[in-house]
A = this chain, B = another copy of it.
Amino acid sequence: MTDTDPIKERLTPDALEAHLRAIGEERYHRRHPFNERLHLGRCTLNEVRAWALNRYCYQRTIPRKDATVLARLDDVEARRIWRRRIVDHDGDPGDAPEGGLRRWLALTDELGFERDYVVSQQGVLPAVQYASEAYVNYVASQPVLEAISSSLTEMFSPTAIQERVSGMLRHYDFITPNALRYFEHRMSEAPRDVDFALDYVKRNATTADLQNRVSAALRFKCDVLWAQLDAIHYAYVVAEPPPGAWRPPLALNS
C-alpha cells in the first residue's frame, strides 16, 4: 500500500500510526535535496543564510497557527496542553527564559543579519510566505481532527534535527552550538507535543473515513515543509531569487 491509497477498512490505532510513519518516510522534508545539502556540509554560507532567513518566516507563523488551533479546542485540559506550544515559541513576558523565536534569531544574528531586517521579513521568498500562510489557513478552516493531525510532522523531526545539528557543527566553521540552540530545545519539546497529538488522533480517528482525513492532513503538512525548501533551493542554489527577495551580498558569496 502506498501512502496515497485510501484506507478502505478501519485500521487499528497502531496500524494507523504505522501508516502515518510511512507517510513521513516518503514525504517528510528530511529527504529534500536542500536539507541533504545543508546537513552534509555542501551549502555555502549564503545558502545557509538564505535558509535561516526564510525559515524564520515559517517559525513566526507557528504560534499564530497554534493559537488558531487553541481557539478551536473546547476542552480545558486539551487547551492547557496545546498552550505549551505557544509558550515554547513565544517565551514569557520579558523573554527570560527566551522562546523559540528568539532562539532562531540567535542563528540569524550569528549569520550576520540585522535583527530588524529578519523580523521585517522584507527579503523572504513569497513562496515561503504563501506556504506558511496556507498552514494557518488550513488549521482555521479544516475540522479540529485535521488541524491536530497536521502537527504530526513533529513525529519525524527529532531524527532530522539530530542530523542537522551534528552535520552543521561538523561541516560549517561559521556555525556554533549557540546558534543552533533552537534545535536543542525542540529535541525535548517535539516528542512531548507528539505524545498528545498522536494519542488524540489515535483515539478520535475511529473510522476509515476519519483515518483518511488524518492521512491527508499529514500529507498536506509535509507538502508545506517541502514547498519551502523547493523555493529556497530554486532561488539560492539552482536558479535566481525572484524580484524583491534577499540577494546575497557579492563580497560574501562563497
Enumerate chain A interface residues (CB-CB to B < 8 A): 4, 26-27, 33, 125-127, 129-131, 133-134, 137, 219, 222-224, 226-227, 230-231, 233-235, 238-240, 242-244
Contacts and interface: CB of A to CB of B under 8 A. Distances in A.
Contacts of A243: 26-27, 222-223, 226
Contact of A130 (B4, B131, B242): B131
Given A227-B242, A235-B230, A243-B27, A131 B126 contact: yes
Contact of A33 (B26, B127, B219, B239): B239
A126 B244 contact: no
A195 to B, nearest CB: 27
A244 B231 contact: no
Nearest to A130: B130
A242 B224 CA distance: 11
A240 B126 CA distance: 20
A126 B234 contact: no
Nearest to A235: B230
Contacts of A129: 134
20 contacts: A4-B244, A27-B244, A125-B227, A126-B131, A126-B223, A126-B226, A127-B130, A127-B227, A127-B230, A127-B231, A130-B130, A130-B131, A133-B134, A134-B134, A137-B137, A223-B244, A226-B242, A227-B242, A230-B239, A230-B242
